[in-house]
Amino acid sequence: MRGKRIILGVTGGIAAYKSAELVRRLSERGAEVQVVMTAAAREFVTATTFQALSGRPVRDSLWDAAAEAAMGHIELARWAELVLIAPASAGFLARLAGGMADDLLSTLCLATSAPIVVVPAMNQQMWANGATQANMATLRSRAIDVFGPASGDQACGEIGPGRMMEPTEIADHIEQKLFVPGPLSGRRVLVTAGPTRECIDPVRFVSNRSSGKMGFAVALALRAAGAEVTLVAGPVQLPTPLGVRRVNVETAEQMFAAVQRELPGTAIFVGTAAVADYRPATIATTKIKKTAESMALDMVRTTDILAWVAARGSERPFVVGFAAETDAIEQHAREKLLRKNLDMIAANEVGEYKAFDCDDNALLVLWRGGRAELPRAAKADLAAALAALIVARYAEQPALSGRSSAKG
């Protein structure tokens, strides 16, 4: 819903308190939310609450001299890509069905060409009333979507249909309604990100400096391209990208197990994780005491997850690897591309103040017969550019692009 312009109409009813949470849920998914309140709604919740959550002044009157000097209600009606009324009281639904325009919200509904969604909330007897059901039939005949109502305990003490749907559920429905198919729609993508931790004893481990930021940005960019994205994440303190399913792991062995489990049906695999190449051969069951001047660790190789995925034969997805190098970047990256039989590799220079723990980066992207240099930029912007390259290369390989769907 990033950038989608939504008018949230709030009418009078105890369920208006849920609308504050709904503003949060729509905003966190990227929508721009303009709240419009009826006079009755102001009796249940304040405009200040909605302004703080939406970042926009609340509109509540046709007679606002400042806004209406330039026919503000018409401008607002044109601005909206969707009008969502939640809660929609029985009284407002009746006025909407009757085509009335006696306040700002009802006027907007008549003046907009955007789709309208109503989320009813009222006493269960009011919902069952023949007049209300006739009004709902009228609204549905005009292609107005109706979400709910839910059934359960009501503020009046009665039980039955009439409860407003929960904000997260409403946001899910709105996201689906506004969804515009992207180039990876119907495709499953698996992304690994972050470091792994290989235990030495119960309090110590071997790891690396990967923050996971690049991998998380890539997962979000591929989700924005329409893919169904699963993110296998090492131990990092980052919020899960919106719309992405996250699987948390700690060790290389756990990451490999997660990839094995999630790979079936995957169309594209992107290995951004900095997986440990070695792990301690044995893990002490108690803390190792500081008794000697030196200590030797016997290390053994971990499974090469990227190479394993690239060798899957008929189950093999389009495989994108990452190469973190301190020198001879292109030489090492191209050798890795060929040795592991990858479809694409993104290489970057690492070291002090480079890539690790930074919010920006630069990438050299290689594939057989081609290359692209992505100059230093914020990792989110860099991930979007990389995702575009992945989409383009994937589309050029019909045997792969027709292989997997979101249903596996």
Domain boundaries, the chain: 5-178, 188-286+294-401
Is residue 156 annotated as a catalytic residue, yes or no? yes
- Cα–Cα separations (whole angstroms), residue 224 to 76, 175, 246, 403: 27, 12, 16, 21
**Rounded to whole angstroms, how far apart are CA atoms 13 and 7?**
18
Query: How many other CB atoms are there within 10 angstroms of residue 143's CB atom?
Result: 8
> Rounded to the nearest 5 degrees, what angle is found at the Cα of 132, between the Cα atoms of 126 and 135?
165
Q: Per DSSP, which regions of 239-343 are E strands?
A: 245-248, 268-271, 278-280, 299-301, 318-325
User: What is each CA distance from 41 to 38, 47, 50, 105, in whole angstroms?
Assistant: 5, 9, 12, 11
SS3 label, residue 48? helix
Report whether the peptide linkage leading into residue 183 is cis, meaning its omega lies within 30 degrees of zero: no
pLDDT tens digits for 219-266? 999 998 989 999 999 999 999 987 899 999 999 999 999 999 999 999
Distance CA 279, CA 281 (A): 6
Which residue numbers in the chain have pLDDT < 50? 68-71, 400-408
Which numeric CATH code is attached to 5-178?
Answer: 3.40.50.1950
What DSSP state is assigned to residue 288?
Answer: P
Active-site entry in 109, 156, 199, 358: 156
In the DSSP assignment, the letter for residue 314 is G
Same fold, 5-178 and 188-286+294-401: yes
What pTM was estimated for this model as a whole?
0.66
Residue 87: asked if its preceding bond is cis (omega within 30°), the reply is: yes
CATH number for domain 188-286+294-401, candidates 3.40.50.10300, 3.10.105.10, 3.30.160.20, 3.10.180.10: 3.40.50.10300
β-bridge mates for residue 36, sequence order: 9, 59
Answer for the pair 151, 121: CB distance below 8 angstroms, yes or no. Answer: no
Q: Which helix (H) or strand (E) holds 328?
A: none
Cα separation, 321 vs 267, whole angstroms: 14
pLDDT of residue 151: 82
| Of 356, 351, 184, the residue nearest 266 (C-alpha) | 184
